Structures are given as structure tokens and as C-alpha cells.
Structure 1
Amino acid sequence: MDKRYVPDARARVRKTLTAWEINASLADDVTLSADELLSNAIKHCRMTLTQVEITISVQGGALLLEVTDSDKDKIPVLHIAEADEETGRGLFLVARLADEWGTRHRTYTKCVWARFLIERAPCTD
């Protein structure tokens, strides 16, 4: 996958969240996190001609964002970038925006995921 596809993927994520009527603030956080995780997968994947998949789903009271690639042994590590470093803040940003994040091994791939709690409207009964 090529980084030129990231803007289109980001737009599709945003369109999906809008269709699901997710509030703008949460949609911003999920969209930015999707951009970061997808960009990381493209930049750091060591496999040639790999497919990167992005999935968003609702599970219980949360949105689950998953980015999967075939470089199953290259597990991302949270890094606190120094002030003079030009890169290295993506996963830290995702960790701050999401309610939780992690990785999951699959048979031939790895998945980096982030979970975002959906705020529920107060009951007016």
C-alpha cells in the first residue's frame, strides 16, 4: 500500500462516522487515529506488496478501530518523542485520544487497534 491512499481512507472513515451520527469531537479523534495507524502501517511494514486493512465497528458502547497488515512480527512500541525529533508521535497521539489501544496477532497478520467509548445521551425520563 502506498501513502497516497491515506487521504482517501481518512475520508472514508469520516464519512462512515458521519453516517453513524457519531459526534464531531469523537469523529475527529477516531479519524486522526485512523490516519496515524494507517500511516504507521504503511511506513513501518517490511513486507513487499502488502495489503493494509482498516476496519471500524461498534462493539457495545465503543467504536473499535483496527488497522491490520501482514508484517506480523513488527509490533509497534509506544515512544515518547523528544522535542527535537521530527517523527515518532503517532502512536503516542493514538494512546492519548483512545480509551485503550493494543495489538493482536492473527495467523498471518497483526492488528493494531484503538477503542473509543461512545458517549451516551443522558436519560430524560
Structure 2
Amino acid sequence: MTATQTFRIPKRRRHVPAARQRIRKALADWGITGELADAVTLSANELVTNAVAHCRTSCAEVEVALTLDGPELLLEVTDPDRDRIPRPHDSDPDEECGRGLAIVAGLAEAWGHREKTYAKCVWARFTVAERLEGTHVPAGL
């Protein structure tokens, strides 16, 4: 069975912590804690921050979706600026930003993006079964 948690936040930096909290709560409700929860939460933080920082559409909302489907967990962050495709950036050691996608690539099994009709979605996929050693995922999910 599949479980999904979806929510929207205004495209403002001050709402990024609220997105992190909602992700963490959804994961905990599904019995996902520890290293995997940390990896998903950090990835969500990076993808939501990128959407908020780089989306050029004014008064926009960012949609965050988590889907748990068997051994896979999919994180999707969608914003209405479909023409700004995410590209990894080689940051100099002195740069303070530009490492978000590299962090996501290092934490997730896979990541990518897809265009929608009026938006773009950046996603990251995690394998739950391999990381949940000894953790119980509630029946019915």
C-alpha cells in the first residue's frame, strides 16, 4: 500500500523550517527515524531552499510531496518556474552556497527533475528497506 503526504508553503525563506518540520513529522508517523529520516529531511531542506531561492515566479507556492511505496520513498519538490532547470554546481571551497544538489546526490539513491505543464518537479528517491535495519514500518503503508 502507498502512503503520501503533500503540502504547500509560500515561496519565502522563512517557511523552509516549517517544511522541514512537516517532513520530519510525516517520516516519524511512518516509523522512519534515524539516519534515513536525517537524509530525507536534509535533502528536502536543500530542494525546498533551492525552489524558494531560484523560482522567479512572484507570489508562488512550493509543493512538497513524500510518497512511501513499499521499499521506496520519493521526495518531490515542485515550483512554478518550469524553465529554470536545476544544475549541479562545482562550488569553490570558499563559497557559502551551491552545494545543495551535490548533497542530495550524495544522500539519495537517485535524483532528477521533470517538467510539468506549468511547473517543474525536482525529486529524490531513497530506499527504505536497506536503511531501516531493525525499524518497524507500520502495517498498511
Instruction: Please tell me the residue identity of whatever aligns with 1:74.
Output: R
Give the C-alpha shift of residue 84 in structure 1.
1.4
Q: Which runs of 4+ in 1 moved over 6 A?
A: none
CA separation in 2, counterparts of 1:91 and 1:59?
24
- Listed one character per residue, the Cα deviations across residues 1-33 of structure 1 (whole Å, up to 9, x for unaligned) are 111111111001000000100131100000000
Matches of 1:37 and 1:19, distance apart in 2: 22
Shift of 1:58: 1.2
SS in structure 1 of the partner of residue 21 of structure 2:
helix
Residue in structure 2 matched with residue 89 of structure 1 by the alignment: 99
Q: How far apart in 2 are the matches of 1:50 and 1:23?
A: 31
Distance between the aligned counterparts of 2:57 and 2:33, measured in 1? Answer: 36
Tell me the secondary structure at the aligned position of residue 97 of structure 2: coil
Q: What's the offset of the Cα at 1:119?
A: 2.2
Q: Given the alignment of the two structures, is residue 41 of structure 1 paired with residue 41 of structure 2, yes or no?
A: no
Per-residue displacement from partner, 1:19-72 (whole Å, max 9, x unpaired)?
A: 100131100000000011000000000111111100000133110000000000
Give, in whole Å, the separation in 1 of the partners of 2:43 and 2:80: 20
> Which is strand-richer, 1 or 2?
2
Deviations 1:66-120 (A, max 9, x none): 0000000000101121111111011110010000000011100000000000125
- The whole-number CA distance in structure 2 between the counterparts of 1:32 and 1:19 is 18
Partner of 2:121: 111
1:79 paired residue number: 89
Q: Unpaired segments of 5 or more residues in structure 1?
A: none
**How many Å separate the matches in 2 of 1:18 and 1:59?**
16
State the match for 1:27 in structure 2: 37
- Compare 36-45 and 74-83 and name the one that shifted more: 74-83
